[in-house]
Amino acid sequence: MGKKYLICTYGCQMNVHESEKIAGSLSGMGYEETTEVEEADVIVFNTCCVRENAEQHAFGNIGALQKAKAENPELIIVVCGCMTQQGDFAERLPKTFPFVDFVIGTYNLDDFADILKRKLETKKRIVEILDRNGEISEKVTPLRSSYPNAWVNIIYGCNNFCSYCIVPYVRGRERSRKKEDILKEVKSLVKEGYKEITLLGQNVDSYGKDLGDGSSFVDLINEIAKIEGKFRLRFMSNHPKDFNGNVARAIKNNPHAAHSIHLPAQSGSDRILKLMNRRYTASDYLSKIEEVKREIPDCSITTDLIVGFPTETEEDFQDTISLCEKVGFDGAFTFVYSPREGTRAAVMDGQISDEVKKDRIMRLVDYQNTYNRKRSKEYIGKVVEILAEDYDEKKNKYLGRDEYGKMAYFESKENVIGKFVKVKINSTGGMSLMGELVETE
Ligand code: SF4
C-alpha cells in the first residue's frame, strides 16, 4: 500500500493555497491523500496566527495527535504555517510536544520535500524557520483541490503594518513573483481548464514595486488580458491606500476580469482608520469607489469591516454604518476586533467590552443582511451566467457564482462543474439565489 498524507489547514486563502503546495511536494514524493488519521504516514498542521485564539486551537489539535504517534511511532508529524514564525512559538512547540517531527516556516515551504527526506534519513527532529526575504522559489507545483477555481500568488508579505494585524511580523516584507512566472502559471491553468483564477496577495496593488523592473499590478492585469480562452480573473485583496483609477481601468479593459472588487474598508471613522494605520480616510475610500463606479458602472463592491476596535465610540460605529449606506456593499465580511499578541492595537488603551462589540456586530450584520436580501430580490426573473463550481448533496443542486460573486443554486441532469451556464433566477434563499438551468456551454 502506498504512503499517505493528511493536511489540516487553518486560516485564510493564503494558507489554503500553501497547503496545495505542500500537497504538491508530497504527491511528487509518491504520497497520496487521506482524510483518516489512522491511515496517514505524514500529518501536516498548516497553522495560522491570524484567527482568534489560534495558538490554543493549534496546541489543542497537535496535542490530540499524541495517541496516534504512540500507536504508530513511524508517523511523521509536521507543523508549519505563519504561526511558526510568531514570537518563540517554534522553540516552544517541540518542548511542549516532543513527538512533533519537524517545524518549518512559510519561507521554506518549497523545501518541504527536501526536509521530509532529510527527516526520514536522519530520524532527527528538524526545526527550520528561514528568513528569506527577497527570494522566491518556484520549484513546487501546487496540487490544486479547488477546480474550477485556482489561486495564484503574485506577492507575498506585507509592508503596511495595520495596527491590528500580525501578518507583516510573520510573513515578512512584500516580495513579488516575477511577471513571467505568474503569466506562465496563469497560461498553464487556462490550458488545464481552470475557469476562475484569483491573483492572491495581502495587497495585490503593491505588486511589482519591489522588483525594480517597472512591473506593476496594472501591467500584470494588461498582460493577462492577452491570454486566450474563457476564464474569470479575480483579485484578493486590493488595498484602498494603493487602489486607483488605473487599476479600475485595467479591470474594465480586461475581458477576463470579473466586474467585482474586494476593497477592505475596515471602518468608516477617520479617527479609527488613523488608529488602525490604514492611511486613508473615509472620503478617500468613497472617492475610489466613485472612480470604480464611473469606470465600471456594474461593478460589485465587497469589503471587510471590523467593529469594536479600541476606543471605538457609538459615533465611530455609526460612521461605519454610514459608509455602508453610501457605498451599498454587495457583500461584507464583518469581524469583531480581537487583540493579536504582538500588534500595536493589542496594547492600546480603550479596549471595548465584549457586550458592546456583540451589540455592534449584530447591528452591522443585520444592516448588511437586509441590504443583501434586497439586492438578491433584484435578480428575480433575470438570466445570469454562472460558473458551476460544486454540487451540494444536501440540496441536490449545483452551485456557482456570477461574475459579481453572487451564489446561485440550480438543478442539472449532467455534471456541469467547470462550465459557464445560464440560469434563470426564480427566487432567493436568504443571501443566495435559486434558479433553473436554461443553457449549458
Ligand atoms: S494590509 Fe494591513 S490588514 Fe492587510 S495584511 Fe497588511 S497589515 Fe494586515
Would you give the DSSP letter of residue 362? H
The per-residue pLDDT for 135 is: 66
Q: Is the CB of 161 under 6 A from ligand 1?
A: yes
Q: What is the distance between the alpha carbons of residues 232 and 146, in angstroms, rounded to a whole number?
A: 15
Query: Which of 12, 106, 203, 272 has most ligand 1 atoms within 8 Å of its beta carbon, as the pocket-test mutant?
Result: 203
User: 203: Cβ below 6 Å to ligand 1?
Assistant: yes
Q: Which residue has a Cα nearest atom 4 of ligand 1?
A: 202
- Ligand 1 atom at shortest distance from the alpha carbon of 277: 2
Cell 454540487 sits at which residue?
391
Dist. CA 207–CA 157, nearest whole Å: 11
Domains of the chain, CATH where assigned: 4-128 (3.40.50.12160), 149-376 (3.80.30.20), 383-439 (2.40.50.140)
How close is the Cα of 314 to the center of ligand 1, in Å? 25
Amino acid of residue 160: N
What is the tens place of the pLDDT at every residue in 232-288? 999 999 999 999 999 999 999 999 999 999 999 999 999 999 999 999 999 999 999
The ligand 1 atom at the shortest distance from the C-alpha of residue 158 is 6
The reply to whether ligand 1 has any atom less than 6 angstroms from the CB of 168 is yes
Per-position b or e across 247-267, b if 16+ CB within 10 A of its CB? bbbbbeebebbbbbbbbbbbb
Over the chain (441 residues), what is each successive 10-residue block's mean pLDDT? 89 87 95 94 89 76 89 93 85 88 86 92 81 72 94 95 93 93 97 97 96 95 98 96 97 98 98 98 98 97 98 98 98 94 94 98 97 95 98 96 97 97 94 94 80
Look up residue 124 and give its amino acid: K
Ligand 1 centre and the CA of 278: distance in Å? 9
Q: Residue 192 has what pLDDT?
A: 97
Q: Is 158 in the pocket of ligand 1 (CB under 6 A)?
A: yes
pLDDT in tens, 50-102: 776 777 777 888 888 889 999 999 999 999 988 888 888 888 888 889 999 98
* CA–centroid distance, residue 158 to ligand 1 (Å): 6
CA atoms within 13 A on the CB side of 187: 11
Using a 6 Å cutoff on CB, does residue 216 contact ligand 1?
no
SS3 (DSSP) at 306: strand
Q: Ligand 1 center to residue 239 CA distance, Å?
A: 9
Helix residue ranges, H only, 193-340: 217-225, 245-253, 270-275, 282-295, 314-327
